[in-house]
Structure 1
Amino acid sequence: MESTAAVLLTSPGEFQTTKVTLDEPRQGELMIRLVASGLCHSDDHYATGDLQPKVLPFCGGHEGAGVVEKVGPNTPGFEVGDHIVMTFMPACGRCFWCSQGKQELCDNGAQSESGGRPDDPNSYRMSVDGKPCGQMTGLGTFSQYTVVSTTSAYKVPKDVPLKYLCLLGCGVGTGYGSAINAADVRPGHTVIVMGMGGIGASAVQGAAHAGAANVIVVDPAEFKREMAAEFGATESFATIEEAAEKARHYTNGQGADSTIVTVGRLQPQNVTDALESVRKGGNVAVTAVGTFDPVPVDINLGMLSMMQKTIKGVIFGNWSPFVSVPRLLDLYRSGKLKLDEMVTREYTVEQVAQGYRDMHAGINVRGLIDFEK
């Protein structure tokens, strides 16, 4: 069948609207009619050329929610009409990592950037004019319809509106988990969050829910600093230097208990600044995405070891999507987790490129494609 989608024809390039052709779902696969998709910064890395798609054309989108239209043959556990949140990290349930409950490190995740199937990077379900079209993390949620593996699909209750649940597929789980898992935020802590996009806003909520006494946001965009308090920030500053000084004020000159790096494009200086902002024994959680090429980072090695500081990489908040989605869904249903408020602008699938222009202009916390507009 045909679907309208936002795809990259070149990288660097902008997302363009075109028709894609979808294959029928095979065993272990679902065809999903999208209700909504978040505009995550990770997709933009492919548009800017920071990351290169393995195959072009390339359909963006990895943060989606929708309704099952078709179920592949011999695929138990799903039926037409089920409501689905798609998670960008597939979880096979059988590999070394999944067997330890670390589904965010599933071996299939290593293949997800291929644009093909999680278990077969050379097999595609989307095409444009007869050419294979890659799907971002095997999902391609910038399309009215998509075909996905059940290893990336989480079934959610039908009594919860799907629209904003798409954010649970990446940004919210990643940011919230960055605070409670990677940064190990505890009651009374002082926490710095560098970057107030969708992941940063979720990290702020995670830190606040964990009982942090002070949650300090850093973002150069005034609009985002003004929004930060709505998600639980106690203060906001334009620079990390100001935020670190405020953290030292609260901690007898020691520094923050943890700093969570959620900037849009990770730079070496961000890691340097974050490490210098935390106290002895403090944690730096590096959630932001940068280049995969080796780059030099200035780190005071004596301070790192003798002050027992920790730099920790973060993928999907360092927890399983099949744990995070139901827990965060329960928080949302109880009114404790803010999802609707995170979406500052909504777009049609034809407006994806404009959505990313708005993101670069600093006027979005999270943009969202509403496929039902």
Structure 2
Amino acid sequence: MTRAAVMRALDGPLAVEDIELNPTGPGQVRVRLAAAGVCHSDLSLADGTLRQPFPAVLGHEGAGVVVETGAGVTGLAPGDHVVLNWSPPCRACWFCEHGEPYLCVHADDARGVPFATAAGEPVYAGLGTGAFAAETVVGAHACIPVPDDIPLAEAALLGCAVLTGVGAVTNAARVRPGQTVVVVGLGGVGLAAIQGARLAGASAIIAVDPAPAKEALALSLGATHYLAPHAGLAKEIRALTGGLGADHAIECVGRGETIRAAWSATRRGGTATVVGLGSAQDPVTFNALEVAFFARTIVGCMYGSTDPAVDVPILLEHYRAGRLDLAALVSDEVELADVGEAFSRMRAGQGARTLVRF
């Protein structure tokens, strides 16, 4: 038995319950969680924006210690510290073989398979990970080893927010030194994107968010300007970028209006990279003239266009060198029973990353 925050139905309450994890099968490992970040994607699973079978244990941004390995597992052993990878590539499909493991067609194979039972009823793991639990069972390929000297609470953030935010800048947008960047939306991913833009050598990093309380943190992480969304936002950004608009906009919200705002904030020939996962019922509209006239590019970005096995070690190098601040991204720490309160803060746009400590 292990304790987990279980959501019984779509948009229902979260309650801490005892669950019985499935036995650790061939190619799987059992992980004792040390910490898990509360991500907006968890909220999207909870409210039906993203598909999720129920009952479910959500949570996908986690780190912990391997406590058991199944048959055939190599490269991992009990006692190893790991970051969970909610989109583990198979390494054999067309996308994996062509350098796009973040689009792997088998990455979500575990999402429709129960990983536990509660009161005799099957329970599903959010994004195949189920990190809002004291322990979970995942495929060995869904674990990225991390050195023992890295604090697991901070390492957990690498599992989604930091990989996605930094990766959006460095891998998807490929920001070059001296370019200008706008980051729209300052949750954990957006704040990581600011750090990614600083690491990339951006000359101006313009943070956009409606919450005044986030300004000091954004500036401390590398933003050069902080703006609130408003009708004249694109004009104000042009004034800060020599009358042109930004070379890059990184959209970290996932709403039609903010995607449109990011697009409008870029210069002619600029690029808007969309990181936020929005609703299928929320359209984005462009008129037929502006698409050709502005010659802008809009790019979708899944999981920061990263390969966690490659990118996590790179991020850890930045962390060790003091170039990447993980602890600053954590605005709240809670116990497992308080995940619902973290959801409420996210809905209100408050704080950065909430971390569940086990």
TM-score range, shorter chain: over 0.9
Q: Is contact 2:90–2:96 with CA below 8 Å preserved after alignment?
A: yes
Cα distance in 1 for partners of 2:272, 2:154 equals 29
Cα distance in 2 for partners of 1:78, 1:181 equals 28
Q: 1:175 to 1:342 in 2, by over 3 A?
A: same
**What residue identity is the alignment partner of 2:73?**
T
Partner of 1:57: 55
Q: Pick from 160, 170, 189: which aligns with 1:170?
A: 160
Structure 1 range deviating more: 15-24 or 25-34: 15-24
Cα distance in 2 for partners of 1:242, 1:326 equals 41
Partner of 2:74: 76
Q: Normalising by the residue count of structure 1, what TM-score does the alignment of the two structures yield?
A: 0.92
Structure 1 range deviating more: 244-253 or 201-210: 244-253
Cα displacement (A) at 1:358: 2.3
Q: Pick from 327, 338, 354: which aligns with 1:351?
A: 338
Question: RMSD of aligned C-alpha atoms?
Answer: 1.5
Report whether the alignment pairs 1:288 with 2:276. yes
Partner of 2:138: 148
**What residue identity is the alignment partner of 2:255?**
Q
Q: 1:240 to 1:176 in 2, by over 3 A?
A: farther
Partner of 2:17: 18
**What residue identity is the alignment partner of 2:178?**
G
Partner of 1:109: 107
Q: Is contact 1:6–1:142 with CA below 8 Å preserved after alignment?
A: yes
Partner of 1:197: 187
SS at match of 2:106: helix
SS at match of 2:3: strand
Report whether the alignment pairs 1:324 with 2:311. yes
Q: How many residue pairs align between the two structures?
A: 358
**What residue identity is the alignment partner of 2:349?**
G
Cα distance in 2 for partners of 1:185, 1:262 equals 16
Q: Is contact 1:260–1:284 with CA below 8 Å preserved after alignment?
A: yes
Cα displacement (A) at 1:193: 0.6
Q: Deviations over 1:161-218 (max 9, x none)?
A: 2111001111100000111122221111111111000000010000111111111111
Unaligned runs of 5+ in 1: 117-123
Cα displacement (A) at 1:240: 5.3
Alignment of 1:210-359 (within 5 A): 210-239=200-229, 241=231, 243-263=233-253, 266-293=254-281, 295-359=282-346
SS at match of 2:107: helix
Q: Is contact 1:194–1:240 with CA below 8 Å preserved after alignment?
A: no
SS at match of 1:344: strand
Cα displacement (A) at 1:52: 3.6
**What residue identity is the alignment partner of 1:68?**
V
Cα displacement (A) at 1:243: 4.4
SS at match of 2:88: coil
Alignment of 1:89-100 (within 5 A): 89-100=87-98
Cα distance in 2 for partners of 1:364, 1:340 equals 13
**What residue identity is the alignment partner of 2:77?**
E
Structure 1 range deviating more: 100-109 or 283-292: 100-109
Cα displacement (A) at 1:356: 1.5
Cα displacement (A) at 1:103: 1.2
Partner of 1:30: 29
Cα distance in 1 for partners of 2:236, 2:203 equals 13
Q: Is contact 1:14–1:47 with CA below 8 Å preserved after alignment?
A: no
Alignment of 1:359-370 (within 5 A): 359-370=346-357
Q: 1:85 to 1:240 in 2, by over 3 A?
A: farther
Cα distance in 2 for partners of 1:242, 1:325 equals 38
Alignment of 1:132-147 (within 5 A): 132-147=122-137
Q: 1:332 to 1:115 in 2, by over 3 A?
A: farther
Runs of 4+ in structure 1 off by over 6 angstroms are none
Cα distance in 1 for partners of 2:197, 2:231 equals 20
**What residue identity is the alignment partner of 2:33?**
L
Q: 1:321 to 1:363 in 2, by over 3 A?
A: same
